[in-house]
Amino acid sequence: NPLRVGWPAPELSARDARAYANWFGVPVEDLPVATVVFAADDTQRPFLTANHGMWKFFEPALRQRLADLEKHASTVERVRGALVEALPAGEVSMVAVCRRLGVSTRTLQRRLREEGSSFQQTLDALRHSLANHYLHHSSLSGTEISFLLGFEDPNSFVRAFQTWSGSTPQAVRLAHSNG
């Protein structure tokens, strides 16, 4: 169990606050950055799923398959993959994605332009797709979805969602639940 959990401005309902406290074992705090603190002793514990013998057997084939996928993936797909990993941590800048992909910002911009896209278009399309998924397939609050998509505050998420879809997240969820 973590010793401390928090993220920026967790405007949670009493029900959500209880649910998070039950899940994490501690209340969620309003902290400047997403934070999970564990006891130092926890670093000595093995992962429940760790199996070194099995890993040694599968690792070479897995690494080869990842390398093959990487060769065939478009730049947009690679950026989307990096963003999916980075969004919950709020790392949505082009610099952060370039660091993950091991390319310069100019190279990334050029490759995306060659594929008829841009960093912002790729980020917006991914956020829109994930937002729709969360709204249709989860009971996450708007604040939680905003956090998962790397927005600094829920209002920014609502404005962006209205730009993408012409509707509010609440209206989309309501229409889906009534449909």
Tell me the C-alpha distance between 162 and 93, whole Å: 22
Phi, psi values for residue 57, rounded to 5° = -70, -45
Closest CA to 173 of 143, 129, 141: 141
For the stretch 125-148, pLDDT in tens is: 999 999 999 999 888 899 999 989
CA distance 159 to 2: 34
CA distances from 158 to 61, 105, 146 (A): 43, 29, 8
- Other residues' Cβ atoms within 10 Å of the Cβ of residue 151: 22
The pLDDT value recorded for residue 50 is 62
Strand order in the sheet with 35-37: 28-30, 4-7, 35-37
Q: In the predicted model, is pLDDT for residue 119 greater than 90?
A: yes
Q: What DSSP string describes 44-111?
A: GSPPTT--HHHHHHHHHHHHHHHHHHHHHS-HHHHHHHHHHHHGGGT--SHHHHHHHHT--HHHHHHH
End-to-end CA distance of the chain: 40
Q: Do residues 35 and 88 touch, judged by C-beta distance below 8 A?
A: no
| Percent with pLDDT over 70 in the chain | 91
Residue 82 dihedral angles phi and psi, to the nearest 5°: -65, -40
pLDDT in tens, 89-111: 888 899 999 998 889 999 999 99
Instruction: Give percent of the chain with pLDDT exceeding 90.
Output: 44
What was the pLDDT predicted at 145? 93
- The crossing angle, in degrees rounded to 10, of helices 105-114 and 119-137 is 80
What is the mean pLDDT of the segment spanning 26-48? Answer: 81
- Asked if 100 and 86 touch (Cβ cutoff 8 Å), the reply is yes
